[in-house]
Every structure is written in structure tokens, then in C-alpha cells.
Structure 1
Amino acid sequence: MTSRSPSEASISLALQLKAVGKGDRAALAAVYDRTSAKLFGVCLRILDDRSEAEEVLQETYITVWRRAGTFDPDRASAITWLVTVARNKALDRVRADKVRRLEAPLDIAEEVPDGIPSALADIENAEQVRALHDCLDKLDADQQASIRTAFLEGATYDELARRRGVPLGTMKSWIRRGLISLRGCLGE
């Protein structure tokens, strides 16, 4: 079986991103036109606030302008790289908001809940993690490797299929059947 080659759209986006890395403003405008809706959706999903998402989207393209020269098409597709930049910017905003809330006046400290999990919660979490690993170990090797790569590395179906040299439909089936098996195993 052969792996799928990148689509023309994917190759075109990668070339535009490389041009951005060389200071091409028209290429940045083209990248923005092609990807801003998707990246805005990523930001909005994480932040759940339209105004914040718009600000983070702007910060994202500033970072793209500054760091596009570091994009390596051998490591990730252009859209994956762009989504990662947007996601990281949105998560940075979430973290910054948490820090700002923690810097509230001390007189309201009694109202702030203790975020440290109890010992019982730690034990339950450890048991859940152990159960998940036990169930993962029971899966077929292809399913197990695909699920671990998808969820631990954030690889897409397309990336996984290319890495494993299988058709996209096969990869989707492996993951779907593996997740169904996991759900059944964890429900026992």
C-alpha cells in the first residue's frame, strides 16, 4: 500500500508559507485569506469569547509573519503548523487570564476554591490512568499505535495514514474500532 501524497492545496499553502518566511506580504495575505476562518474557529473553541478569539487570531498572524521561516514541511503540513501556532496563542491567553485572576486582592482569598486535588482524587485518577493503559495494551498493535500517536502527538488521520502507509479509510477504521474497544473495556 502506498501513502497518499499531499494535495495541491496543501502544497500550495506550504509554498505560500515559505514565501511568508522570506518576507512576502502578498503571500501572508493569501495565507490569511485561506486559513483565517479555520484558525479563528480554533481560537474561539478554546477561548469561548469572540473578542478574545479575534485578538488571538491577530497575534497568531503576527507570529506567523515573524516565524514562518521556521516552518518545515517535512515535519508537519502547513495547516497543522498554523493550527498549532493559533492553538498555542489561545492557550497562552487562557493561562494569562488565570494568572490575572490569581493576582486578585488578598481579601477575596477566602472565596477562591482550593484547586489542589485531594488524595482520594489522586488515587482515583491514577487508577483511571492505569485502567486506560491496560485497555490500550489489549488493542491490536495497529489500533494501539494509531490511537497513541493521534492523542499523544496530535497527529491527524491523514498524517497517520501517510506515516503508516495505509489508505485514509483504513486509518479511520483502526482508530474508530480501537476507540469502541476502549470504551467497552473501560466500561467493564
Structure 2
Amino acid sequence: MGRWSNSRRRTHIITPILPDERDREECLSDVLLRVWDSIGTFDPGRTALTTWLTHLARNAALNRRRGNEHRREGGTLDEAMPDAADGPEQSLLKAEAARVLWAAVERLGRRDRELFLRKYYYYQPTAQIAAESGLTVRAVEGKLYRIRKHLQSELGGVFHG
């Protein structure tokens, strides 16, 4: 876990989602606990350990952010308010759309796929992506624009990244 746990890698995943240092530290603790509890589910035949850890970190950060937003909004449940969760049909449609998008992203070239994931999966700011990739902000924005247009074309106009 040495390479994944270094501060640059941790910052690369969690900071764009959780700007507060305390939230990031608590999130990292959540991730470590999750790893401890679920290491038995890790399948090295399906994915690399760093990929699995990255997904755990991203999901933990998103969950913490959602929890923070819920607490800021008052966090009370109104029983008269309808459940906002999707029904089975809507969930199935969303899952299929996500599968199709992921397949299209997998077909991108390595650099384009990395840019797309850094911006839209890891929520990294364009300036950070530019600085770490040796490109200008304008160049990154242009590449992301072309990637989105390519995905829209490939997916028949259904992608609105």
C-alpha cells in the first residue's frame, strides 16, 4: 500500500472532492477501515490493488461530502416528502447508460482516458490537471472539449459531460 498511501496520491483522489483537511483525514480513516473490513472481497484477477483502493477512496470522499451537505441542509427527514430514490426501471436505465459510457471511455486512447477520468471521475480542477500533465489550462480544456464531442458522437448525442 506504500505507493497509494503517499500524500500526493491521496491528494490526487480526495482533495478535489473534500477541500477541508479534517474531512480528508477522516475520509482516509474511513478508507483504511473499509480496506480492513473488505480486503477479502478484493479480486486481483479483476483489478489492480491501486485501482480498488482508488475506487474506495473516491467513494468514501463522495459519501463524506454528501453527508456534509445533508447536515448543512438541516438533515431532517420529512415523512410526507416522497422518496427521491429511483425506481427499479430508472435504476436499470441509469446502470445501462453508465455501462455504455464506461465502454466508450475504455476505447479512448490512454492519455484521453486519463484526462477524462481525472476531470469527470476524480473531480480534479483543470488547473491541477494542467500543472501535473505539463499542459496549459487552455490545452486541457480543448482536449476535454474534443473528448466530450467524441463521446457524444460515439454515443449518439446522449452524453452531456
Q: What is the TM-score when the length of structure 2 is the normalising length?
A: 0.51
* CA–CA separation in structure 1 for the residues paired with 2:111 and 2:123: 17
Aligned length: 106
The CA deviation string for residues 13-72 of structure 1, in whole angstroms up to 9 with x for no partner, is xxxxxxxxxxxxxxxxxxxxxxxxxxxxxxxxxxxxxxxxxxxxxxxxxxxxxxxxxxx8
Task: Please show how residues 63-142 of structure 1 align to structure 2 within 5 Å.
Answer: 84-85=19-20, 92=67, 94-96=69-71, 97=73, 99-100=75-76, 102=77, 104=78, 109=79, 111-142=80-111
Identity among equivalent pairs (%): 15
CA RMSD of aligned residues (A): 3.3
* CA–CA separation in structure 1 for the residues paired with 2:155 and 2:74: 33
* CA–CA separation in structure 2 for the residues paired with 1:90 and 1:75: 16
Q: What is the TM-score when the length of structure 1 is the normalising length?
A: 0.45
1:180 aligned to 2:149? Answer: yes
Give the direction of change, closer, same or farther, for the CA distance of 1:116–1:149 in structure 2 (3 Å limit).
same
Structure 1 unaligned segments of length 5 or more: list them: 1-71
The CA deviation string for residues 110-146 of structure 1, in whole angstroms up to 9 with x for no partner, is x321333221112101101011111212323222110
Q: Give 1:75 shift.
A: 7.1
* CA–CA separation in structure 2 for the residues paired with 1:91 and 1:119: 22
Give the direction of change, closer, same or farther, for the CA distance of 1:165–1:123 in structure 2 (3 Å limit).
same
**Structure showing greater relative contact order (alpha-carbon pairs closer than 8 Å, 6 or more residues apart):** 1
